[in-house]
Structure 1
Amino acid sequence: MGAVKAKRMPRAVREQQMLDAAVETFGQRGYMAASMDEIAELAGVSKPLVYLYLNSKEELFTACIRREAAALVTAVRSGVRTGLPADRQLWDGLLAFFVHTAAYPHAWSVVHLQARTHGETFAAEAAAMREEIVAFVTSLIVVAAREAHRDPDLPEREVAGLAEALVGAAESLATWANTTDGVTARQAATTLMNFAWAGLSNLMDGRNWTPPAA
């Protein structure tokens, strides 16, 4: 009786393995220093197979950016439950963001650090993700911002500015948290929530916003 052949792995599964390996390699070594040989070895496949599936290092990196950007946006959106008070929605969104970036530091390096510094094509992919997150954050803080300012007619441009500032702060804080020992996602989210919700003056006066029970 002949030997039973091993079941071939579906292309989609194999491709995800390659992307996993690529994200880890790009995140650790950077786009320029990472090699296709390293990625293929980590994925447990031959280098020609990587090229067969993903054509080139550039297309592989683009695929990594797109996958990880989509995963981050999905994590933030799914972390927010509508119908809750404005501060809880903002808190849940920030916490989801920091939990995801802490859980996938190589992915965060790829979409935030690597993509922005290695060419316009890659930077455009990262910018598209950022625009989507900014738009979502704008929708989260529009009511909260107006309440905080006691101004029902707060200009849209000011709301947009607050969203840009908040996303920019979150990006910087996530990078810092991922490279600083002992900083948890919850601590990072609490720090930014205190700054954004209570306001810098309240924070300096010791009137801190307290996160909900875990």
Structure 2
Amino acid sequence: MVVVVRTTKRLPRAERERQMMDAAVQVFGRRGYRGASMDEVAELAGVSKPLVYLYLKSKEDLFTACIRREAQALTRAVRAGVRRDLPPDRQLWEGLRAFFRHTADHPDGWTVLHVQARTHGEPFAAEVAALRAELVSFVTQLTVVAARAAHRDPDLPEREVAGLAEALVGAAESLAAWANATEGVCAREAAATLMNFAWAGLDNLMAGRPWTPPADQD
């Protein structure tokens, strides 16, 4: 059910803009970019449509602002969830748990990032690509530190684990979409599922036991 916010007092600009952005994320997440209208955003925010245009200019600008805000919120949540004083497996677990908790708590924002922004071309897809690159870089660094410590080799190249981090982020994205669409799947369960899938591979890599393809195949 869509809840319309009615306001009767003058709000500071930042608060008013946040209110409109909250409404826009909900509308874009549930209607899609093409199905969303500035009229509905204004109604949901409890403001006039001219005020939405005054603050956020155009539908494209509004959608881009929503993507950026939700991307920043997600990366902040993941980074904040990781304590560097924990063992490597706990660091990865806490990062995954923070990711799935945030995507579960903000399903419209996740839909904007994972579905809507990716299916409407540039420049929206580029915004999501930047988010993904940041998450991959963060996961790569977590894994590199753990692998170097396990090997006692400070020069172990990032390439050894970068592909694994890329795959892990992709799996997390798909699993978050599934978890949000599947009744009864909580953030902890989703994180545990991916942790069980990923940590065995990471553990083998750190211990110097990577799986290798047959020698007679490309």
In which range does the TM-score fall when normalised by the shorter chain? Answer: 0.7 to 0.9
User: Hey, what does 1:99 align to over in structure 2?
Assistant: 101
Q: Which moved more, 1:154-163 or 1:85-94?
A: 154-163
How far residue 199 of structure 1 moved from its aligned partner, in angstroms, is 3.6
The letter of the residue matching 2:136 is V
**2:81–2:94 CA contact under 8 A, matched in 1:** yes
Distance apart, 1:95 and its partner CA: 0.3
Structure 1, residues 119-143: CA drift from partner, whole Å, max 9, x if none? 2101111111111111111111113
Q: Give the distance between the partners of 2:66 and 2:172, measured in 1 at CA.
A: 21
Q: 1:192 aligns with which of 182, 191, 194?
A: 194
Number of aligned positions between the proteins? 196
Spell out the pairing of 1:154-193 with structure 2 (5 A cutoff). 154-193=156-195
Match of 2:123 in 1: 121
Q: CA deviation at 1:22?
A: 0.3
Q: How does 1:76-87 map to 2 (within 5 A)?
A: 76-87=78-89
How much has 1:163 moved relative to structure 2?
0.7
User: C-alpha separation between the residues in 2 aligned to 1:7 and 1:168?
Assistant: 44
> Which residue number in structure 2 is paired with residue 41 of structure 1?
43
Structure 2 matches for 1:24-35, cutoff 5 A?
24-35=26-37
Please identify runs of 4+ aligned residues in structure 1 that moved more than 6 A. Answer: none
- What is the letter of the counterpart of residue 95 of structure 1? R
State TM-score, norm by structure 2: 0.85
- For residues 147 and 98 of structure 2, what CA distance do their matches in structure 1 show? 20
Q: Is the 8 A contact 2:78 2:99 kept in 1?
A: yes
Q: Which 5+ residue runs of structure 2 have no aligned equivalent? A: 1-7, 205-218
Distance 1:151 1:164, change over 3 A: farther
User: Does the Cα contact within 8 Å between 2:139 and 2:165 map onto a contact in 1?
Assistant: yes
- Cα RMSD for the two superposed structures: 1.9
- Percent identity at matched positions? 75
Structure 2 counterpart of 1:135:
137
Q: Distance in 2 between matches of 1:7 and 1:110?
A: 30
CA deviations on 1:69-126 (whole Å, 9 max, x unpaired) are 0000000000001111000000000000000000000000111111111121011111
